[in-house]
Amino acid sequence: MPKVDSQKLYMFCNEVFIEAGIPKEHGHIMAHALVEADLMGVTTHGASRTNIYLEHMENGTINPEPKIEVVSDFASISVIDADRAMGPVAADYAMKKACVSAAKTGVGVVCVRNSTHMGALSVTAKKACDNKMIGLVISNTSPIMAAWGGAEPVLGNNPISIAVPTGEGSPYVLDIALSLVARGNIILAAREGREIPENWAVDNDGRPTTNAQEALLGAVLPLAQHKGYALAFMFDVLSAVLSGAAYGKNVGSFVPPDYSKPLNFGHFILALDINKILKYDDFLMRLKDYVKQLKTCKKAQGFQEILVPGEIESKKYEENLVYGVNLSDTTVEILRKLGEKYKIDTTL
Amino acid sequence: MPKVDSQKLYMFCNEVFIEAGIPKEHGHIMAHALVEADLMGVTTHGASRTNIYLEHMENGTINPEPKIEVVSDFASISVIDADRAMGPVAADYAMKKACVSAAKTGVGVVCVRNSTHMGALSVTAKKACDNKMIGLVISNTSPIMAAWGGAEPVLGNNPISIAVPTGEGSPYVLDIALSLVARGNIILAAREGREIPENWAVDNDGRPTTNAQEALLGAVLPLAQHKGYALAFMFDVLSAVLSGAAYGKNVGSFVPPDYSKPLNFGHFILALDINKILKYDDFLMRLKDYVKQLKTCKKAQGFQEILVPGEIESKKYEENLVYGVNLSDTTVEILRKLGEKYKIDTTL
């Protein structure tokens, strides 16, 4: 796999977005969101997706010059209509607004409708940490998951991210989807002709299947059975039923090839101002002590270390910042084609 | 199993608490919390726990006449010190305060320290629905769960409840703990000499075990492996690191026999005023449509129906309200003894 300097990759993506016609400040947000994901090792949400965002733009399902509108506005909660903005752009706007409210009242919530795919949620959640705040981000996504007891995709895997500042170094970050495994793992197994474990997915008749091809025609299953389903239900309510976005089956497909439906993703974005709860330094001290407790506990067989949420990603981040990010051959080819199209030097 | 009229059970529990020396208004909250759990069929958190609360009271780990203090107070967030109150009493106070803030600013968050076991979280979360609000409640609990990769209990199963009003009938309610299964299932298997599935728990050396006895000496495992662990971590941060409560291993044991440690549970309690986001009636219409989508989807093999979160419990509730709640022989014996002690007629 080729290693690519993250700063060069950022500049390349940024230029592509700007050449494609999106405003300069949005180009920065997009390139930043994608390269941050690659730096964390979350390559599924990295530069490899540049072309998908641009295809939606050409298709009209993403608006390159959105007029993001505040639909309603109270001291601690507001609703924004993202006007089909690139998801990371809508999320950035919403998190900034949530932080402004939180700085005044202690908490800020922004409900977002008419948005698109936000990419890695943690990129947005972590922005709260720059303000000494805790960030919580929930989004619905395109329907790929069955309800508990269902045989067809009616729910997104509706992810959540919570980011907590640590004072020094990277925030602690949870970023999980509510399917037991990402659909990408099933696509990969299908491509390589491998079987999948029985609890990953159901086929088109709702039967648990180990056949990856059949699983792709069915639906992925929620984590922890009814518990993951119930969480996905509530996250759809918080991010979409409440905000005015599409919910359940009505959400459009972000991944190719079917771009026929409006995307209309919804987000629920919250910021908590730590200094309005206890002294920030006291919080950091308590957090440090809590993590020490976990790190020093007795290890299970086969484990040398207890990790905290986001630790794997932040280690990769540091490493990739120095040595460059890994891009698959497919991603390199995607970027090369984009370079050709927009006449940008692709020597990364 | 004997069936007991829920109103009689409420009056009995209420009288026990008052005779035991807790203020009248707190007696109501306690009896209500326990009987509501029994009505929902959550008997583990029902009247069977009356004696545990009273034992903590006699032990000094619960304060019958707490002076709940507002430690800090901003427009949308506040911290309260519950002064070792009965958990449901502290949670009731906090949810009321959260709703008052939400009515003004759209969102109210109350961080609670120095509390005790709240019982079924859904009882508190649902109170927001009476005000046309969404309630979200997180609590940490006594350490019974291993960290991912750990071999000893360092975390609670840190439950979350989200309750959403439906206009007519019961709210939709999520109420889940973050362990794959409740520890009670392992206790039951041990008592009956049954094996348990391999992913439920680890033994005292952190080895996955099917031996229920050995599992009880080890720790229960988080749901969905690292995902449940990461959620439990974040819920400890939100409910305890942030509020000033005990976290991780420092939380006292609510269940017998070891009452030596202060309980110092923490809660994170949030209310969202729906009317400040969209018109309440529009929300109800959208919610109804969403649920219709789920209910009418294609069913999986072996399933006749798609349930929404809390549906099983609300059906049981309606039924138990008419026919009485089921109490195990052990629970009846516990109540009989309490009746004797406090000279209350135990004919239920």
pLDDT in tens, B175-186: 999 999 888 889
8 Å CB contact of A75 and B72:
no
What predicted TM-score, i.e. pTM, was given to this entire model? 0.97
Cα gap B336→B348, rounded to integer Å? 10
- Residue A108 with chain B: CB contacts under 8 Å: 107
- Phi then psi dihedrals of residue A219, to 5 deg: -150, 150
Contact of A143 with B299, CB cutoff 8 Å? no
* Structure confidence by residue, pLDDT tens digits, B273-305: 999 999 999 999 999 999 999 999 999 988 999
What is the rounded (10 degree) CA torsion for A145, A149, A152, A155? -30
pLDDT of residue B172: 98
- Residue B164 with chain A: CB contacts under 8 Å: 234, 237
Can the peptide bond before residue A66 be classed as cis, meaning omega within 30 degrees of 0?
no
Nearest CA in chain B to A203: B300
Nearest CA in chain B to A71: B277
pLDDT at position B332 over 80 = yes
**Helices B87-105, B121-129: crossing angle, 10 deg rounding:** 30
Q: What is the mean pLDDT of residues A36-54?
A: 95
Looking up tokens 């033994």 gives B203
Beta bridge partners of A146: A153
Q: What is the mean pLDDT of residues A94-114?
A: 98
With b meaning 16 or more CB within 10 Å and e meaning fewer, what string describes A292-326? ebbeebbbbeeeeebbbbbeebbebbeebeeebbb
Average pLDDT over chain A reads 96
Which of B71, B80, B97, B109 should one mutate to test binding to chain A, selecting the residue with the greatest count of A CBs within 10 A? Answer: B109
- Residue A276 with chain B: CB contacts under 8 Å: 72, 74, 77
**Enclosing H/E stretch for A191:** helix A183-192
Half-sphere exposure of B53 (CA within 13 A, CB side): 35
ipTM rounded to 2 decimals: 0.97
In Å, what is the CA distance from B157 to each residue of B123, B141, B288? 18, 6, 32
Q: What is the mean pLDDT of residues A54-76?
A: 97
Å between A30 CA and nearest CA of chain B: 27
pLDDT of residue A136: 98
pLDDT band at A141 (very low <50, low <70, confident <90, very high): very high
Nearest CA in chain A to B206: A300
pLDDT at position B1 over 90 = no
pLDDT at position A71 over 90 = yes
Nearest CA in chain A to B248: A290
How many helices (H) and strands (E) in chain B? 11, 13
- Residue B244 with chain A: CB contacts under 8 Å: 278, 286
Å between A160 CA and nearest CA of chain B: 10
pLDDT band at A195 (very low <50, low <70, confident <90, very high): very high
Contact of B266 with B141, CB cutoff 8 Å? no
pLDDT of residue A224: 94
- Residue B227 with chain A: CB contacts under 8 Å: 176, 223
pLDDT at position A250 over 80 = yes
- Residue A301 with chain B: CB contacts under 8 Å: 151, 205-207
pLDDT of residue B187: 87
* Structure confidence by residue, pLDDT tens digits, B215-245: 999 999 999 999 999 999 999 999 999 999 9
pLDDT of residue A188: 84
* Structure confidence by residue, pLDDT tens digits, A211-241: 999 999 999 999 999 999 999 999 999 999 9
Cα gap B295→A154, rounded to integer Å? 10
pLDDT at position A184 over 90 = no
8 Å CB contact of A290 and B237:
yes
